Amino acid sequence: MTDLSHLVQHGHVIEVRVTPRASRNAVSCEGGVIKVTVTTVPEGGKANAEVVRLLAKALGIAKSRLTLLRGASGRDKVFRID
């Protein structure tokens, strides 16, 4: 799990690339791009919920502080830290 705590600022916007149906859950930062892989399927918001859980853990913040701004049904997502 990658430590992304340096990104935690109120109102900070982060872009994430998500890969559902992966072999394991992971958060990584490659070339300035945050990548989240989840084992869940992208139906009924299950994958989004898992992304929020993993991202919050990597950032060291509560899940309730993350707001999905764009990308609810796509692989590229934009979150705001509240």
Residue ranges and CATH numbers for the domains of the chain are 5-81 (3.30.1200.10)
- Judging by beta carbons within 10 Å of its beta carbon (0-12, 13-18, 19+), is residue 55 exposed, middle or buried? buried
CB atoms within 10 A of CB 48: 19
* Residue 7, helix vs strand vs coil: helix
Q: How far is it, in rounded angstroms, from Cα 53 to Cα 58? A: 9
21's torsion region: left (phi>0), alpha (psi -120 to 50) or beta?
Answer: left
The per-residue pLDDT for range 23-56, each reduced to its tens digit, is 999 999 988 889 999 999 989 999 999 999 999 9
Say whether pLDDT at 11 is over 80: no
Q: What percent of the chain has pLDDT over 70?
A: 88
